[in-house]
């Protein structure tokens, strides 16, 4: 039995390479920046080149290593080509996703297919490409690896007008567990991070509606929205050796929403 001393080094990611899908803005951008500041070499993947370039320039000015990969993860051929071309891969943050809130009886097949394609199919194929790349490393079992699927508190509960979104996030929670069990012999850990509503420019218009704002705040015991850096901190933790015994689970960053 060892007695812990200074464990701060366990949160460092020097010598690791990370890929963040959906890195152009929001959670993905924040996670990529945090991983780079923790020492990882980060490849940022998103559809919009300009979104990626601004983050890469910001990190380069701070002395961190980051690269832009303009790619639509729903284009599995292009995505596989991009992942295969990476020099190496140790960490995947599988973040691309969308939501189209609407009453269940109004959900069109087009909207259903759009959300399923990005939130489930693309997350599956991106993880598959990443794992193939990770397994290319001859020292993978000793080196380890980390897959982090960004889900949602809605992968643990239900909510009105979010039937498709909840469907997809519950699916990825199940996928996370199954993949964790399958990859454990290769020392590749698979976990999810499930945030509540976050305070961002994209969510701000939603909270101008008093009824919706009250519905959300009444369900968060801590009484506030989440912040991007709180999710990014969780990503760094789960990616690092500080979480080396953690696999097949969901780290819920929800202010207590799912505890009641």
Mean pLDDT of 59-70: 93
- Evaluate if residue 5 carries a pLDDT over 80: yes
| Domain layout of the chain by residue ranges | 10-259
pLDDT band at residue 2, thresholds of 50, 70 and 90?
Answer: low
pLDDT digits (tens, 9 = 90+) for 21-52: 999 999 999 999 999 999 999 999 999 999 99
- Evaluate if residue 1 carries a pLDDT over 80: no
Asked about 165 being catalytic, the answer comes back as yes
Q: How far is it, in rounded angstroms, from Cα 206 to Cα 210?
A: 9
Is there a contact between 32 and 52 (Cβ–Cβ < 8 Å)? Answer: no
Q: How far is it, in rounded angstroms, from Cα 65 to Cα 63?
A: 7
Catalytic residue among 10, 114, 141, 169: 169
Catalytic residue among 132, 165, 177, 214: 165
In sequence order, what E strands does 151-249 have? 188-195
Mean pLDDT of 135-152: 94
Return all residues near 29 (Cβ < 8 A) that are at least 6 apart. 23, 44, 51, 55
- Top-level class of domain 10-259: alpha beta
Asked about 209 being catalytic, the answer comes back as no
pTM of the predicted protein model: 0.96
């Amino acid at each position: 039995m060892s007695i812990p001393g200074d464990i701060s080094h366990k949160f460092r990611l020097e010598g690791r390479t990370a890929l963040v899908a959906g890195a152009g803005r929001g959670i993905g951008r924040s996670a990529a920046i945090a991983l780079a500041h923790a020492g990882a070499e980060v490849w940022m993947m998103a559809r919009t080149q300009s979104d990626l370039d601004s983050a890469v320039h910001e990190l380069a000015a701070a002395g961190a290593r980051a690269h832009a990969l303009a790619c639509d993860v729903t284009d599995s051929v292009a995505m596989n080509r991009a992942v295969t071309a990476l020099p190496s891969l140790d960490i995947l943050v599988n973040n691309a996703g969308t939501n189209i809130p609407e009453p269940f009886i109004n959900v069109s097949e087009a909207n259903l297919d759009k959300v399923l394609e990005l939130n489930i199919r693309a997350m599956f194929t991106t993880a598959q490409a990443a794992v193939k790349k990770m397994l290319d490393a001859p020292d993978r079992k000793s080196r380890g690896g980390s897959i982090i699927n960004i889900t949602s508190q809605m992968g643990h509960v239900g909510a009105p007008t979010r039937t498709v979104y909840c469907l997809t996030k519950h699916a990825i929670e199940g996928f996370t567990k199954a993949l964790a069990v399958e990859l454990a012999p290769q020392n590749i850990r698979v976990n999810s991070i499930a945030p509540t509503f976050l305070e961002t420019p994209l969510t701000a218009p939603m909270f101008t509606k008093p009824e919706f704002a009250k519905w959300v705040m009444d369900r968060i015991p801590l009484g506030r929205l989440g912040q991007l850096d709180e999710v990014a901190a969780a990503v760094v933790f789960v990616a690092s050796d500080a979480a080396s015994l953690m696999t097949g689970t969901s780290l819920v960053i929800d202010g207590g929403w799912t505890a009641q």
